[in-house]
Structure 1
Amino acid sequence: MVYIHFIVNPISGNGNHNIGKTELEKYFSKEKFKIEVDYSNHKKHAITLTKKAIENNPNCIVACGGDGTINEVASCLINTKIKLGIIPVGSGNGLASNLNIPKEIKKATEIIRNGNSQTIDVGQVNEHYFFSNMGIGIDAHIIKKYETYKKRTLIAYIKASVTSSFQFKPIQTVLAFNNQIINTNSFLLFISNSNEMGYGMSLTPKASLQDGWLDLVVVSKLNFINKLILGMYVLSNKVEKFKNAQHSLIQKMSIKIPNKINTDIQIDGEYYNIKTNKIDVSIIKNGLEIIMQ
Protein backbone atom coordinates (compact mmCIF):
# COMPACT_ATOMS: atom_id res chain seq x y z
CA MET A 1 0.00 0.00 0.00
CA VAL A 2 1.23 3.45 -0.94
CA TYR A 3 1.20 6.00 1.89
CA ILE A 4 0.63 9.58 0.70
CA HIS A 5 0.56 12.51 3.12
CA PHE A 6 -1.08 15.75 1.96
CA ILE A 7 -0.21 19.21 3.31
CA VAL A 8 -3.04 21.56 2.31
CA ASN A 9 -2.96 25.34 2.48
CA PRO A 10 -6.67 26.17 2.74
CA ILE A 11 -6.23 29.84 1.76
CA SER A 12 -4.01 29.34 -1.31
CA GLY A 13 -5.48 30.98 -4.37
CA ASN A 14 -7.67 33.12 -2.09
CA GLY A 15 -9.22 29.91 -0.76
CA ASN A 16 -10.98 29.11 -4.02
CA HIS A 17 -10.58 25.35 -3.74
CA ASN A 18 -12.23 22.53 -1.85
CA ILE A 19 -9.25 20.25 -1.28
CA GLY A 20 -9.67 18.22 1.89
CA LYS A 21 -9.68 14.60 2.98
CA THR A 22 -13.22 13.94 1.76
CA GLU A 23 -12.41 15.31 -1.69
CA LEU A 24 -9.06 13.53 -1.94
CA GLU A 25 -10.56 10.16 -1.00
CA LYS A 26 -12.51 10.29 -4.28
CA TYR A 27 -9.25 9.92 -6.20
CA PHE A 28 -7.29 7.47 -4.02
CA SER A 29 -8.84 4.07 -3.39
CA LYS A 30 -8.50 2.65 0.10
CA GLU A 31 -7.39 -0.65 -1.40
CA LYS A 32 -4.23 0.86 -2.89
CA PHE A 33 -3.55 4.04 -0.93
CA LYS A 34 -3.32 5.19 2.63
CA ILE A 35 -3.80 8.95 2.81
CA GLU A 36 -3.40 11.45 5.62
CA VAL A 37 -4.19 15.15 5.41
CA ASP A 38 -2.90 18.12 7.42
CA TYR A 39 -3.80 21.79 7.01
CA SER A 40 -1.37 24.69 7.35
CA ASN A 41 -2.64 27.73 9.21
CA HIS A 42 0.13 30.28 8.82
CA LYS A 43 3.46 30.97 7.16
CA LYS A 44 6.05 28.26 7.91
CA HIS A 45 3.39 25.97 9.45
CA ALA A 46 3.77 23.60 6.48
CA ILE A 47 7.41 23.09 7.52
CA THR A 48 6.34 21.86 10.96
CA LEU A 49 3.64 19.63 9.47
CA THR A 50 6.03 18.15 6.90
CA LYS A 51 8.71 17.34 9.48
CA LYS A 52 6.09 15.57 11.59
CA ALA A 53 4.81 13.65 8.56
CA ILE A 54 8.35 12.52 7.69
CA GLU A 55 8.52 10.69 11.02
CA ASN A 56 5.83 8.32 9.70
CA ASN A 57 7.89 7.52 6.58
CA PRO A 58 5.38 8.21 3.80
CA ASN A 59 6.14 7.31 0.20
CA CYS A 60 5.15 10.78 -0.91
CA ILE A 61 4.24 14.14 0.62
CA VAL A 62 1.97 16.30 -1.53
CA ALA A 63 1.96 20.07 -1.25
CA CYS A 64 -1.48 21.48 -2.04
CA GLY A 65 -0.97 25.20 -2.43
CA GLY A 66 1.09 27.80 -4.23
CA ASP A 67 4.83 28.20 -4.66
CA GLY A 68 5.25 29.30 -1.04
CA THR A 69 3.59 26.16 0.34
CA ILE A 70 5.51 24.00 -2.12
CA ASN A 71 8.76 25.61 -0.98
CA GLU A 72 8.03 24.88 2.70
CA VAL A 73 7.19 21.22 2.04
CA ALA A 74 9.95 20.59 -0.50
CA SER A 75 12.63 22.19 1.68
CA CYS A 76 12.13 19.37 4.20
CA LEU A 77 12.49 16.64 1.56
CA ILE A 78 15.87 17.54 0.05
CA ASN A 79 18.19 14.54 -0.19
CA THR A 80 15.56 12.19 1.27
CA LYS A 81 13.87 9.17 -0.34
CA ILE A 82 10.43 10.74 0.06
CA LYS A 83 8.93 12.05 -3.16
CA LEU A 84 7.28 15.44 -3.50
CA GLY A 85 3.87 15.66 -5.14
CA ILE A 86 2.12 18.89 -6.14
CA ILE A 87 -1.50 19.94 -6.46
CA PRO A 88 -1.21 23.59 -7.54
CA VAL A 89 -3.92 25.83 -6.12
CA GLY A 90 -1.92 29.02 -5.64
CA SER A 91 -1.99 32.28 -7.56
CA GLY A 92 1.15 32.17 -9.71
CA ASN A 93 1.92 28.42 -9.72
CA GLY A 94 5.29 28.93 -11.44
CA LEU A 95 6.95 25.64 -10.49
CA ALA A 96 3.89 23.51 -11.29
CA SER A 97 3.59 25.20 -14.67
CA ASN A 98 7.25 24.46 -15.43
CA LEU A 99 6.60 20.80 -14.54
CA ASN A 100 3.38 20.69 -16.63
CA ILE A 101 1.29 19.82 -13.58
CA PRO A 102 -2.28 21.00 -14.23
CA LYS A 103 -4.41 22.94 -11.76
CA GLU A 104 -7.39 20.60 -12.23
CA ILE A 105 -7.44 18.33 -9.19
CA LYS A 106 -8.56 15.33 -11.24
CA LYS A 107 -5.54 15.57 -13.55
CA ALA A 108 -3.09 16.49 -10.79
CA THR A 109 -4.13 13.51 -8.64
CA GLU A 110 -3.81 11.21 -11.65
CA ILE A 111 -0.15 12.21 -11.94
CA ILE A 112 0.33 11.45 -8.23
CA ARG A 113 -1.38 8.06 -8.52
CA ASN A 114 0.87 7.09 -11.43
CA GLY A 115 3.88 7.89 -9.25
CA ASN A 116 6.37 8.62 -12.04
CA SER A 117 9.21 10.70 -10.66
CA GLN A 118 12.44 12.44 -11.60
CA THR A 119 15.03 14.41 -9.68
CA ILE A 120 15.40 18.16 -10.06
CA ASP A 121 18.07 20.61 -8.97
CA VAL A 122 17.59 22.81 -5.93
CA GLY A 123 18.86 26.31 -5.30
CA GLN A 124 20.22 27.30 -1.91
CA VAL A 125 20.51 30.84 -0.57
CA ASN A 126 22.17 30.96 2.86
CA GLU A 127 20.08 28.58 5.01
CA HIS A 128 17.04 28.74 2.69
CA TYR A 129 16.17 26.70 -0.40
CA PHE A 130 14.46 27.73 -3.61
CA PHE A 131 13.03 25.63 -6.40
CA SER A 132 11.85 28.30 -8.83
CA ASN A 133 13.75 31.53 -8.18
CA MET A 134 15.02 34.14 -5.75
CA GLY A 135 15.91 37.80 -6.03
CA ILE A 136 17.08 40.80 -4.03
CA GLY A 137 16.30 43.58 -6.49
CA ILE A 138 13.03 45.11 -7.58
CA ASP A 139 11.33 41.70 -7.62
CA ALA A 140 11.77 41.45 -3.83
CA HIS A 141 10.19 44.90 -3.50
CA ILE A 142 7.32 43.81 -5.77
CA ILE A 143 6.61 40.74 -3.63
CA LYS A 144 6.80 42.80 -0.44
CA LYS A 145 4.20 45.19 -1.89
CA TYR A 146 2.13 42.36 -3.40
CA GLU A 147 1.78 40.61 -0.03
CA THR A 148 0.08 43.70 1.41
CA TYR A 149 -2.88 43.33 -0.96
CA LYS A 150 -5.94 41.40 0.16
CA LYS A 151 -6.19 39.37 -3.04
CA ARG A 152 -3.26 37.77 -4.84
CA THR A 153 -4.19 38.11 -8.49
CA LEU A 154 -2.38 38.97 -11.70
CA ILE A 155 -3.87 42.48 -11.56
CA ALA A 156 -2.53 42.90 -8.01
CA TYR A 157 0.91 41.70 -9.16
CA ILE A 158 0.97 44.17 -12.04
CA LYS A 159 -0.15 46.97 -9.70
CA ALA A 160 2.65 46.07 -7.27
CA SER A 161 5.13 46.01 -10.17
CA VAL A 162 4.17 49.46 -11.45
CA THR A 163 4.25 50.99 -7.96
CA SER A 164 7.61 49.38 -7.20
CA SER A 165 9.16 50.65 -10.43
CA PHE A 166 8.74 54.20 -9.07
CA GLN A 167 9.61 53.46 -5.44
CA PHE A 168 12.52 51.04 -5.66
CA LYS A 169 16.03 52.45 -5.60
CA PRO A 170 18.88 50.30 -7.00
CA ILE A 171 21.15 48.83 -4.35
CA GLN A 172 24.92 48.74 -4.38
CA THR A 173 26.00 45.11 -4.71
CA VAL A 174 29.31 43.32 -5.07
CA LEU A 175 28.82 40.10 -7.03
CA ALA A 176 31.37 37.29 -7.17
CA PHE A 177 30.74 34.45 -9.64
CA ASN A 178 32.47 32.57 -12.44
CA ASN A 179 35.90 33.95 -11.43
CA GLN A 180 34.81 37.57 -11.73
CA ILE A 181 33.82 40.34 -9.34
CA ILE A 182 31.26 42.94 -10.38
CA ASN A 183 30.43 46.09 -8.43
CA THR A 184 27.09 47.47 -9.60
CA ASN A 185 23.93 49.29 -8.57
CA SER A 186 21.42 46.48 -9.04
CA PHE A 187 17.90 47.29 -10.16
CA LEU A 188 17.16 43.61 -10.81
CA LEU A 189 19.19 40.74 -9.38
CA PHE A 190 17.32 37.54 -10.14
CA ILE A 191 18.49 33.93 -9.92
CA SER A 192 16.31 31.20 -11.34
CA ASN A 193 16.18 27.41 -11.37
CA SER A 194 13.02 27.18 -13.49
CA ASN A 195 11.73 28.69 -16.70
CA GLU A 196 8.71 30.40 -15.16
CA MET A 197 8.16 32.68 -12.18
CA GLY A 198 4.34 32.55 -12.16
CA TYR A 199 1.34 33.91 -14.08
CA GLY A 200 2.96 32.60 -17.28
CA MET A 201 5.78 35.16 -17.05
CA SER A 202 9.49 34.43 -17.21
CA LEU A 203 12.81 36.21 -16.91
CA THR A 204 14.68 33.01 -17.77
CA PRO A 205 12.71 31.11 -20.45
CA LYS A 206 15.67 28.83 -21.22
CA ALA A 207 16.26 27.75 -17.61
CA SER A 208 16.03 24.07 -16.76
CA LEU A 209 15.32 22.30 -13.48
CA GLN A 210 17.67 19.50 -14.45
CA ASP A 211 20.71 21.04 -16.15
CA GLY A 212 22.91 21.58 -13.08
CA TRP A 213 22.94 25.37 -13.50
CA LEU A 214 21.18 28.42 -12.12
CA ASP A 215 20.28 31.27 -14.46
CA LEU A 216 21.37 34.74 -13.31
CA VAL A 217 19.88 37.99 -14.62
CA VAL A 218 21.38 41.31 -13.53
CA VAL A 219 20.04 44.70 -14.59
CA SER A 220 21.76 47.83 -13.31
CA LYS A 221 20.23 51.25 -12.67
CA LEU A 222 17.72 52.27 -15.36
CA ASN A 223 16.12 55.50 -16.51
CA PHE A 224 12.34 55.78 -16.79
CA ILE A 225 12.16 54.86 -20.47
CA ASN A 226 14.27 51.74 -20.00
CA LYS A 227 12.09 50.70 -17.05
CA LEU A 228 9.09 50.77 -19.38
CA ILE A 229 10.98 48.80 -22.01
CA LEU A 230 12.04 46.21 -19.43
CA GLY A 231 8.43 45.88 -18.27
CA MET A 232 7.25 45.19 -21.82
CA TYR A 233 9.96 42.56 -22.30
CA VAL A 234 8.97 40.88 -19.02
CA LEU A 235 5.29 40.73 -20.03
CA SER A 236 6.23 39.27 -23.42
CA ASN A 237 8.81 36.80 -21.98
CA LYS A 238 11.61 38.32 -24.05
CA VAL A 239 13.95 39.69 -21.37
CA GLU A 240 16.90 38.08 -23.16
CA LYS A 241 16.45 40.78 -25.83
CA PHE A 242 16.75 43.63 -23.33
CA LYS A 243 20.20 45.09 -24.00
CA ASN A 244 20.75 46.25 -20.41
CA ALA A 245 20.28 42.77 -18.94
CA GLN A 246 23.32 40.61 -18.22
CA HIS A 247 22.63 36.87 -18.38
CA SER A 248 24.95 34.23 -16.90
CA LEU A 249 24.87 30.57 -15.90
CA ILE A 250 26.18 29.96 -12.39
CA GLN A 251 26.63 27.16 -9.89
CA LYS A 252 27.64 29.34 -6.98
CA MET A 253 27.75 33.02 -6.23
CA SER A 254 28.37 35.41 -3.35
CA ILE A 255 26.60 38.73 -2.93
CA LYS A 256 27.60 41.56 -0.61
CA ILE A 257 25.47 44.65 0.00
CA PRO A 258 27.83 47.17 1.67
CA ASN A 259 25.22 49.80 2.55
CA LYS A 260 22.72 47.43 4.14
CA ILE A 261 22.51 45.54 7.43
CA ASN A 262 19.44 43.46 6.56
CA THR A 263 18.36 42.31 3.10
CA ASP A 264 14.92 42.21 1.51
CA ILE A 265 14.67 39.03 -0.55
CA GLN A 266 12.02 37.04 -2.33
CA ILE A 267 12.28 33.26 -2.35
CA ASP A 268 9.83 31.38 -4.58
CA GLY A 269 7.49 34.35 -4.53
CA GLU A 270 7.50 34.87 -0.76
CA TYR A 271 9.00 37.93 0.93
CA TYR A 272 11.68 37.63 3.63
CA ASN A 273 13.90 40.09 5.44
CA ILE A 274 17.11 38.28 6.33
CA LYS A 275 19.43 39.62 9.02
CA THR A 276 22.61 39.84 6.97
CA ASN A 277 24.08 41.72 4.02
CA LYS A 278 26.11 38.71 2.83
CA ILE A 279 24.39 36.13 0.69
CA ASP A 280 25.75 32.87 -0.69
CA VAL A 281 23.90 31.12 -3.50
CA SER A 282 24.63 27.60 -4.74
CA ILE A 283 22.98 24.64 -6.47
CA ILE A 284 22.26 21.15 -5.15
CA LYS A 285 22.22 18.93 -8.21
CA ASN A 286 19.43 16.32 -8.25
CA GLY A 287 18.52 17.35 -4.71
CA LEU A 288 14.79 16.58 -4.84
CA GLU A 289 12.74 13.70 -6.22
CA ILE A 290 9.43 14.96 -7.54
CA ILE A 291 6.39 13.28 -9.08
CA MET A 292 5.67 14.55 -12.56
CA GLN A 293 4.27 13.43 -15.88
Structure 2
Amino acid sequence: MIRIHFIVNPISGNGKHNLTASMIRDFFPRSEFDIAIDYTKHKGHAIELAQMAKTQKPDYIIACGGDGTINEVASSLVNSNIKLGIVPVGSGNGLASNLAIPRDMEKAFGIIKKGNVNFIDVGTVNDRYFFSNMGIGIDATIIKHYEHNGKRTLTAYIKAALASSLQYQPRRTMHTYGNQVSSSEPFLLFVSNSNEMGYNMSLTPKASLQDGWLNLFLVPKIPLIQKLVLGYYVLRNQVEKFKYGKHFLIQDLYLEQPDTIFMDVQIDGEFHNFKTNTLKVSIARKGLKVLVP
Protein backbone atom coordinates (compact mmCIF):
# COMPACT_ATOMS: atom_id res chain seq x y z
CA MET A 1 0.00 0.00 0.00
CA ILE A 2 1.45 3.34 -1.09
CA ARG A 3 0.53 6.31 1.11
CA ILE A 4 0.08 9.58 -0.79
CA HIS A 5 -0.76 12.98 0.69
CA PHE A 6 -2.03 15.61 -1.77
CA ILE A 7 -1.78 19.32 -0.98
CA VAL A 8 -3.98 21.28 -3.37
CA ASN A 9 -4.00 25.03 -3.92
CA PRO A 10 -7.60 25.64 -5.04
CA ILE A 11 -6.86 29.09 -6.51
CA SER A 12 -3.77 28.18 -8.56
CA GLY A 13 -4.14 29.10 -12.21
CA ASN A 14 -6.92 31.54 -11.25
CA GLY A 15 -8.85 28.62 -9.75
CA LYS A 16 -9.70 27.08 -13.12
CA HIS A 17 -7.99 23.71 -12.73
CA ASN A 18 -11.07 21.78 -11.45
CA LEU A 19 -8.91 19.34 -9.50
CA THR A 20 -11.33 17.61 -7.14
CA ALA A 21 -10.95 15.00 -4.40
CA SER A 22 -13.19 12.60 -6.33
CA MET A 23 -10.96 12.94 -9.41
CA ILE A 24 -7.91 12.07 -7.33
CA ARG A 25 -9.56 9.13 -5.58
CA ASP A 26 -10.93 7.75 -8.85
CA PHE A 27 -7.44 7.63 -10.34
CA PHE A 28 -5.77 6.04 -7.30
CA PRO A 29 -7.74 2.91 -6.29
CA ARG A 30 -8.08 2.18 -2.59
CA SER A 31 -6.77 -1.34 -3.14
CA GLU A 32 -3.32 0.11 -3.96
CA PHE A 33 -3.19 3.62 -2.47
CA ASP A 34 -3.98 5.26 0.85
CA ILE A 35 -4.94 8.82 -0.10
CA ALA A 36 -5.14 11.99 2.04
CA ILE A 37 -6.01 15.43 0.67
CA ASP A 38 -5.58 18.92 2.13
CA TYR A 39 -6.37 22.33 0.64
CA THR A 40 -4.39 25.52 1.16
CA LYS A 41 -6.16 28.62 2.42
CA HIS A 42 -3.47 31.29 2.18
CA LYS A 43 0.13 31.96 1.19
CA GLY A 44 2.44 29.91 3.39
CA HIS A 45 -0.28 27.41 4.35
CA ALA A 46 1.24 24.63 2.20
CA ILE A 47 4.32 24.71 4.44
CA GLU A 48 2.18 24.04 7.52
CA LEU A 49 0.20 21.30 5.73
CA ALA A 50 3.36 19.60 4.46
CA GLN A 51 4.92 19.64 7.92
CA MET A 52 1.80 18.05 9.39
CA ALA A 53 1.64 15.53 6.55
CA LYS A 54 5.24 14.47 7.25
CA THR A 55 4.24 13.30 10.74
CA GLN A 56 1.99 10.70 9.08
CA LYS A 57 5.03 9.29 7.21
CA PRO A 58 3.53 9.10 3.70
CA ASP A 59 5.57 7.74 0.80
CA TYR A 60 4.80 10.79 -1.36
CA ILE A 61 3.56 14.31 -0.76
CA ILE A 62 2.07 15.85 -3.90
CA ALA A 63 2.05 19.60 -4.53
CA CYS A 64 -0.90 20.56 -6.73
CA GLY A 65 -0.44 24.17 -7.75
CA GLY A 66 2.08 26.55 -9.27
CA ASP A 67 5.73 27.19 -8.48
CA GLY A 68 4.87 28.97 -5.22
CA THR A 69 2.88 26.03 -3.87
CA ILE A 70 5.54 23.60 -5.06
CA ASN A 71 8.22 25.64 -3.31
CA GLU A 72 6.30 25.56 -0.02
CA VAL A 73 5.75 21.80 -0.11
CA ALA A 74 9.22 20.97 -1.41
CA SER A 75 10.88 23.15 1.24
CA SER A 76 9.46 20.81 3.86
CA LEU A 77 10.90 17.75 2.11
CA VAL A 78 14.54 18.77 1.60
CA ASN A 79 16.84 15.97 2.82
CA SER A 80 13.78 13.83 3.58
CA ASN A 81 13.03 10.28 2.42
CA ILE A 82 9.54 11.41 1.41
CA LYS A 83 9.26 11.97 -2.34
CA LEU A 84 7.80 15.13 -3.86
CA GLY A 85 5.18 14.74 -6.57
CA ILE A 86 3.92 17.58 -8.74
CA VAL A 87 0.58 18.24 -10.42
CA PRO A 88 1.20 21.56 -12.22
CA VAL A 89 -2.05 23.50 -12.19
CA GLY A 90 -0.53 26.96 -11.74
CA SER A 91 0.18 29.67 -14.27
CA GLY A 92 3.93 29.60 -14.88
CA ASN A 93 4.83 26.00 -13.90
CA GLY A 94 8.55 26.50 -14.54
CA LEU A 95 9.87 23.64 -12.38
CA ALA A 96 7.32 21.13 -13.68
CA SER A 97 8.19 22.05 -17.26
CA ASN A 98 11.90 21.56 -16.58
CA LEU A 99 11.11 18.12 -15.12
CA ALA A 100 8.93 17.25 -18.15
CA ILE A 101 5.81 16.90 -15.97
CA PRO A 102 2.83 17.74 -18.21
CA ARG A 103 -0.03 20.11 -17.37
CA ASP A 104 -2.50 17.34 -18.27
CA MET A 105 -3.65 16.16 -14.84
CA GLU A 106 -4.18 12.52 -15.74
CA LYS A 107 -0.70 12.31 -17.25
CA ALA A 108 0.73 13.94 -14.13
CA PHE A 109 -1.21 11.40 -12.02
CA GLY A 110 0.30 8.65 -14.17
CA ILE A 111 3.81 9.80 -13.29
CA ILE A 112 2.92 9.67 -9.59
CA LYS A 113 1.42 6.21 -9.96
CA LYS A 114 4.51 4.93 -11.79
CA GLY A 115 6.77 6.09 -8.93
CA ASN A 116 10.03 6.87 -10.77
CA VAL A 117 12.31 8.96 -8.55
CA ASN A 118 15.20 11.30 -9.27
CA PHE A 119 17.29 13.64 -7.14
CA ILE A 120 17.53 17.35 -7.88
CA ASP A 121 19.74 20.07 -6.44
CA VAL A 122 18.30 22.65 -4.07
CA GLY A 123 19.19 26.34 -3.89
CA THR A 124 19.23 28.21 -0.60
CA VAL A 125 18.96 31.93 0.10
CA ASN A 126 19.48 32.74 3.78
CA ASP A 127 16.94 30.51 5.57
CA ARG A 128 14.78 29.75 2.52
CA TYR A 129 14.97 27.21 -0.28
CA PHE A 130 14.46 27.69 -3.99
CA PHE A 131 14.15 25.03 -6.63
CA SER A 132 13.81 27.04 -9.84
CA ASN A 133 15.28 30.50 -9.27
CA MET A 134 15.64 33.62 -7.16
CA GLY A 135 16.51 37.22 -7.94
CA ILE A 136 16.94 40.69 -6.45
CA GLY A 137 16.73 42.84 -9.57
CA ILE A 138 13.91 43.83 -11.87
CA ASP A 139 12.40 40.35 -11.59
CA ALA A 140 11.59 40.88 -7.90
CA THR A 141 9.80 44.13 -8.79
CA ILE A 142 7.94 42.40 -11.62
CA ILE A 143 6.67 39.70 -9.25
CA LYS A 144 5.63 42.37 -6.73
CA HIS A 145 3.53 44.11 -9.42
CA TYR A 146 2.30 40.77 -10.76
CA GLU A 147 1.01 39.63 -7.36
CA HIS A 148 -0.61 43.01 -6.72
CA ASN A 149 -2.49 42.75 -10.03
CA GLY A 150 -4.16 39.54 -8.87
CA LYS A 151 -4.35 37.93 -12.32
CA ARG A 152 -2.02 35.00 -13.00
CA THR A 153 -1.75 35.19 -16.78
CA LEU A 154 1.06 35.76 -19.27
CA THR A 155 -0.56 39.05 -20.30
CA ALA A 156 -0.58 40.23 -16.68
CA TYR A 157 3.07 39.20 -16.35
CA ILE A 158 4.07 41.19 -19.46
CA LYS A 159 2.17 44.25 -18.20
CA ALA A 160 3.93 43.96 -14.83
CA ALA A 161 7.27 43.67 -16.63
CA LEU A 162 6.66 46.81 -18.68
CA ALA A 163 5.51 48.83 -15.67
CA SER A 164 8.45 47.64 -13.59
CA SER A 165 10.97 48.47 -16.31
CA LEU A 166 9.88 52.11 -16.19
CA GLN A 167 9.87 52.35 -12.39
CA TYR A 168 12.71 50.13 -11.19
CA GLN A 169 15.84 51.86 -9.90
CA PRO A 170 18.91 49.59 -9.59
CA ARG A 171 20.65 49.63 -6.22
CA ARG A 172 24.34 49.45 -5.47
CA THR A 173 25.09 45.80 -4.79
CA MET A 174 28.26 44.05 -3.68
CA HIS A 175 28.53 40.50 -5.02
CA THR A 176 31.09 37.88 -4.12
CA TYR A 177 31.36 34.46 -5.78
CA GLY A 178 34.38 32.21 -6.05
CA ASN A 179 37.39 34.51 -6.04
CA GLN A 180 35.43 37.37 -7.63
CA VAL A 181 34.46 40.43 -5.61
CA SER A 182 32.73 43.26 -7.45
CA SER A 183 30.15 46.01 -7.17
CA SER A 184 27.45 47.05 -9.60
CA GLU A 185 23.98 48.50 -9.90
CA PRO A 186 22.28 45.45 -11.45
CA PHE A 187 19.14 45.83 -13.48
CA LEU A 188 18.82 42.06 -13.22
CA LEU A 189 20.58 39.70 -10.82
CA PHE A 190 19.03 36.29 -11.35
CA VAL A 191 20.20 32.98 -9.88
CA SER A 192 18.75 29.83 -11.38
CA ASN A 193 18.80 26.13 -10.61
CA SER A 194 16.40 25.36 -13.47
CA ASN A 195 16.47 26.05 -17.20
CA GLU A 196 12.98 27.56 -17.17
CA MET A 197 11.30 30.29 -15.15
CA GLY A 198 7.69 29.74 -16.26
CA TYR A 199 5.50 30.50 -19.27
CA ASN A 200 8.08 28.59 -21.36
CA MET A 201 10.58 31.43 -20.91
CA SER A 202 14.18 31.12 -19.79
CA LEU A 203 17.04 33.38 -18.74
CA THR A 204 19.36 30.42 -18.17
CA PRO A 205 18.71 27.82 -20.91
CA LYS A 206 21.83 25.81 -20.02
CA ALA A 207 20.97 25.43 -16.33
CA SER A 208 20.52 21.94 -14.93
CA LEU A 209 18.75 20.68 -11.82
CA GLN A 210 21.38 17.98 -11.35
CA ASP A 211 24.80 19.45 -12.17
CA GLY A 212 25.70 20.83 -8.73
CA TRP A 213 25.87 24.41 -10.01
CA LEU A 214 23.70 27.50 -9.95
CA ASN A 215 23.55 29.81 -12.96
CA LEU A 216 23.99 33.53 -12.31
CA PHE A 217 22.66 35.88 -14.99
CA LEU A 218 23.78 39.45 -14.39
CA VAL A 219 22.64 42.51 -16.34
CA PRO A 220 24.04 45.92 -15.32
CA LYS A 221 22.13 49.18 -15.28
CA ILE A 222 21.00 49.76 -18.88
CA PRO A 223 19.07 52.43 -20.79
CA LEU A 224 15.40 52.03 -21.68
CA ILE A 225 16.03 50.90 -25.26
CA GLN A 226 18.18 48.02 -24.00
CA LYS A 227 15.49 47.04 -21.49
CA LEU A 228 13.12 46.63 -24.43
CA VAL A 229 15.75 44.64 -26.33
CA LEU A 230 16.20 42.35 -23.33
CA GLY A 231 12.42 41.86 -23.08
CA TYR A 232 12.30 40.98 -26.77
CA TYR A 233 15.00 38.34 -26.39
CA VAL A 234 13.35 36.89 -23.27
CA LEU A 235 10.00 36.49 -25.04
CA ARG A 236 11.74 34.80 -27.99
CA ASN A 237 13.89 32.58 -25.73
CA GLN A 238 17.04 34.07 -27.22
CA VAL A 239 18.42 35.75 -24.11
CA GLU A 240 21.96 34.56 -24.85
CA LYS A 241 22.03 37.05 -27.75
CA PHE A 242 21.70 39.98 -25.33
CA LYS A 243 25.18 41.46 -25.32
CA TYR A 244 24.93 43.17 -21.93
CA GLY A 245 24.00 39.96 -20.06
CA LYS A 246 26.72 37.87 -18.44
CA HIS A 247 26.38 34.23 -17.36
CA PHE A 248 28.38 32.63 -14.54
CA LEU A 249 28.40 29.19 -12.94
CA ILE A 250 28.46 29.49 -9.16
CA GLN A 251 28.01 27.42 -6.03
CA ASP A 252 28.05 30.22 -3.48
CA LEU A 253 27.13 33.89 -3.74
CA TYR A 254 27.19 36.64 -1.13
CA LEU A 255 25.15 39.78 -1.81
CA GLU A 256 25.03 43.06 0.08
CA GLN A 257 23.17 46.29 -0.63
CA PRO A 258 24.93 48.71 1.75
CA ASP A 259 22.57 51.62 1.08
CA THR A 260 19.40 49.74 2.07
CA ILE A 261 17.88 48.12 5.15
CA PHE A 262 15.58 45.55 3.53
CA MET A 263 15.85 43.62 0.24
CA ASP A 264 13.08 42.72 -2.20
CA VAL A 265 13.57 39.16 -3.44
CA GLN A 266 11.62 36.85 -5.71
CA ILE A 267 11.86 33.16 -4.90
CA ASP A 268 10.34 30.68 -7.34
CA GLY A 269 8.00 33.36 -8.65
CA GLU A 270 6.83 34.62 -5.24
CA PHE A 271 7.64 38.02 -3.75
CA HIS A 272 9.45 38.31 -0.41
CA ASN A 273 10.78 41.27 1.52
CA PHE A 274 13.84 40.20 3.53
CA LYS A 275 14.48 42.18 6.71
CA THR A 276 18.20 42.39 5.97
CA ASN A 277 20.52 43.92 3.38
CA THR A 278 22.67 40.80 2.96
CA LEU A 279 21.93 37.47 1.28
CA LYS A 280 23.88 34.22 1.23
CA VAL A 281 23.03 32.01 -1.75
CA SER A 282 24.29 28.44 -2.05
CA ILE A 283 23.42 25.01 -3.44
CA ALA A 284 22.79 21.65 -1.80
CA ARG A 285 23.48 18.81 -4.21
CA LYS A 286 20.78 16.15 -4.60
CA GLY A 287 18.78 17.63 -1.75
CA LEU A 288 15.30 16.61 -2.94
CA LYS A 289 13.69 13.41 -4.21
CA VAL A 290 11.14 14.07 -6.97
CA LEU A 291 8.75 11.83 -8.88
CA VAL A 292 9.57 12.18 -12.57
CA PRO A 293 8.54 10.58 -15.92
TM-score (norm 1): 0.99
Q: Which residue of 1 aligns with 2:140?
A: 140
Q: Which residue of 1 aligns with 2:185?
A: 185
1:178-222 C-alpha deviation (Å, 9 max, x unpaired): 201010011000000000000000000110000000000010100
Q: Alignment length, in residue pairs?
A: 293
Query: Hey, what's the Cα distance between the residues in 2 that align with 1:32 and 1:273?
Result: 44
Q: Counterpart of 1:147 in 2: which secondary structure?
A: helix
Query: Hey, what's the Cα distance between the residues in 2 that align with 1:13 and 1:235?
Result: 20
Q: Which residue of 2 aligns with 1:217?
A: 217
Q: Which residue of 1 aligns with 2:203?
A: 203
Q: How far is 1:150 from its partner?
A: 2.6
Query: Hey, what's the Cα distance between the residues in 2 that align with 1:105 and 1:148?
Result: 28
Q: Which residue of 2 aligns with 1:107?
A: 107
Does the 8 A contact of 1:21 with 1:36 survive in 2?
A: no
Q: How far is 1:236 from its partner?
A: 1.2
Q: Which residue of 2 aligns with 1:158?
A: 158
Q: How far is 1:242 from its partner?
A: 1.0
Does the 8 A contact of 1:136 with 1:265 survive in 2?
A: yes
Q: How far is 1:246 from its partner?
A: 1.2
Amino acid of the structure 2 residue aligned with 1:262: F
Query: Hey, what's the Cα distance between the residues in 2 that align with 1:284 and 1:233?
Result: 31
Amino acid of the structure 2 residue aligned with 1:208: S
1:242 and 2:265 are equivalent in the alignment: no
Does the 8 A contact of 1:20 with 1:37 survive in 2?
A: no
Q: Which residue of 1 aligns with 2:87?
A: 87
Query: Hey, what's the Cα distance between the residues in 1 that align with 2:288 and 2:88?
Result: 18
Amino acid of the structure 2 residue aligned with 1:149: N
Q: How far is 1:292 from its partner?
A: 0.4
Structure-to-structure mapping, 1:225-236, within 5 angstroms: 225-236=225-236
Mean Cα displacement is larger for which, 132-141 or 241-250? 241-250
Amino acid of the structure 1 residue aligned with 2:175: L
Query: Hey, what's the Cα distance between the residues in 2 that align with 1:118 and 1:137?
Result: 32
Amino acid of the structure 1 residue aligned with 2:240: E
Q: Counterpart of 2:31 in 1: which secondary structure?
A: coil
Amino acid of the structure 2 residue aligned with 1:192: S
Q: Counterpart of 1:169 in 2: which secondary structure?
A: coil
1:289 and 2:289 are equivalent in the alignment: yes
Amino acid of the structure 2 residue aligned with 1:26: D
Q: How far is 1:20 from its partner?
A: 2.6
Structure 2 stretches of 5 or more lacking a match? none
Report the aligned-residue RMSD: 0.6
TM-score (norm 2): 0.99
Q: What's the % identity of the aligned pairs?
A: 59
Q: How far is 1:116 from its partner?
A: 0.1
